[in-house]
Amino acid sequence: MENKEAGTPPPIPSREGRLQPTLLLATLSAAFGSAFQYGYNLSVVNTPHKVFKSFYNETYFERHATFMDGKLMLLLWSCTVSMFPLGGLLGSLLVGLLVDSCGRKGTLLINNIFAIIPAILMGVSKVAKAFELIIFSRVVLGVCAGISYSALPMYLGELAPKNLRGMVGTMTEVFVIVGVFLAQIFSLQAILGNPAGWPVLLALTGVPALLQLLTLPFFPESPRYSLIQKGDEATARQALRRLRGHTDMEAELEDMRAEARAERAEGHLSVLHLCALRSLRWQLLSIIVLMAGQQLSGINAINYYADTIYTSAGVEAAHSQYVTVGSGVVNIVMTITSAVLVERLGRRHLLLAGYGICGSACLVLTVVLLFQNRVPELSYLGIICVFAYIAGHSIGPSPVPSVVRTEIFLQSSRRAAFMVDGAVHWLTNFIIGFLFPSIQEAIGAYSFIIFAGICLLTAIYIYVVIPETKGKTFVEINRIFAKRNRVKLPEEKKEETIDAGPPTASPAKETSF
């Protein structure tokens, strides 16, 4: 008995703890080819916007022998920027159908079509003298980003063992930030952000998609998808053997079988069923709060209008593009730091710390913008506030929700949950991009107080409701939320003794709920 107790548990966690080459390379191929698209295309039109507007104007002049008026130019440029999140919304609504019918890996491979075709169209738009190709391509690229931003965390979360799930899951946001940073570098006027180089700048988005098409087919499909949704245990076992590097995988397979039994008991959930189901009430509300808080806390307002903020903080217009690149370095460093810390400190600590830093930075930035005309030295503090905000967002609110949203749903409800999650993410993204200029014009520096308030409210919700999911299986997390929702799981109805055991005390310590 003593040998069993001493010998059985250690091998499983030690083996699961290794980052095997197959898991590492599959993560890199999937994340670079998918999440990169979101980050790159989010940022690529920001710095060289004057170059693009000049192309629009010249094309219009060749057609009509007159230049655009200011209103038409504003409309076309607003469409260029805002079509991307609207395409993302459409993609998030398609992802549920694709991940179930084509699999997680299959969805990512098919999705590359929505990156390569627009890359070609944007690359030839200057020769074709058609700015409409850029606007149309931005919609299609948005669809690509919308699909990948939901399908990729699902794929990575189901590939990784439970003790590496946080680190692997944050790779979605790491590669989004890599995309943002490379777009900032390539967009510099001295590189490709000029009249001669911008077609190449826009066409580069097709390169990661092409690399993924060439590499991802050699890596396994999600073993959870193979076993739970396809009922193919042999394929799941083979995938686990490649991903884990050993043959002793019965504990993980049994966890999948338990999840499969839970799915059969619940049935396959639609979005409407998900919204009406009491047993998933707090999970659904949690992903809505996490996604809305992530966007409404102001990160994309800073991304979209960074140059304006730097200028108002005292940076010369010619130098603001280099300050933006500096913020990109901070973004990457802190996101990678989050990936390292997420399995040590847990999800809740990173989220709470991140929102605390963001809210504080917004409050100080408000004071700086109000008084910098009287005290010019405050302009430097304004730049520090922006960098602090980016650092805080990069360590918690940006990367961690990608991990949590995969963990708090079982296979049967994950598809519908990611559709809701994606719709909230892209709608709030669009709302901020569309409304922030008007809000800033109406109330000026006080607009950042709104973001500080949203940071506070989101942090309170996380502290009160969301449990720590570090090191727990999907089934264990489901049991914690079952107690939140005051429902019994199907297996608990058969074994009433579970409700009276020690687990009732554990979740209560994890939040103040």
Q: Domains of the chain: which residue ranges?
A: 19-219, 269-487
* pTM (global) more than 0.85: no
Q: What is the pLDDT of residue 509?
A: 39
Question: What distance in Å separates the CA atoms of residue 226 and residue 143, rounded to the nearest whole number?
Answer: 26
Question: What distance in Å separates the CA atoms of residue 135 and residue 76, rounded to the nearest whole number?
Answer: 8
For residue 83 the two structure tokens come to 């079509």
Q: What is the pLDDT of residue 293?
A: 93
| Burial of 344 from C-beta contacts in 10 A (0-12 / 13-18 / 19+) | exposed
Render the burial of 254-290: b for 16+ CB within 10 Å, e for the rest: ebbebbbebbeebeebebeebeebebbbbbbebbbbb
Q: Are 22 and 200 in contact (CB under 8 A)?
A: no
* Helix ranges restricted to H, 245-316: 250-266, 271-276, 281-296, 299-304, 306-312
Question: What distance in Å separates the CA atoms of residue 109 and residue 33, rounded to the nearest whole number?
Answer: 9
pLDDT, tens digit, for every residue of 277-332?
Answer: 888 889 999 999 999 999 898 886 676 556 666 776 667 766 777 787 888 889 89
pLDDT, tens digit, for every residue of 459-488?
Answer: 999 999 999 988 888 888 888 888 888 877
Q: Report which of 487, 491, 498, 507 is spatially closest to residue 279, judged by C-alpha positions.
A: 487
Question: What distance in Å separates the CA atoms of residue 69 and residue 206, rounded to the nearest whole number?
Answer: 33
Q: What is the pLDDT of residue 356?
A: 95
Question: What distance in Å separates the CA atoms of residue 437 and residue 509, rounded to the nearest whole number?
Answer: 43
% residues pLDDT > 90 (the chain): 34
The parts of the chain modelled with pLDDT lower than 70 are 1-17, 247, 262-268, 300-301, 303-309, 312-314, 317-318, 489-513
Question: What distance in Å separates the CA atoms of residue 159 and residue 7, rounded to the nearest whole number?
Answer: 26
- The class of domain 19-219 in CATH terms is mainly alpha
Residue whose structure tokens are 């053997």: 241
DSSP string, 110-128: HHTHHHHHHHHHHHHHHHH
Q: What is the pLDDT of residue 496?
A: 46
- The class of domain 269-487 in CATH terms is mainly alpha
Question: What distance in Å separates the CA atoms of residue 352 and residue 96, rounded to the nearest whole number?
Answer: 30
Would you say the CATH fold of 269-487 matches that of 19-219?
yes
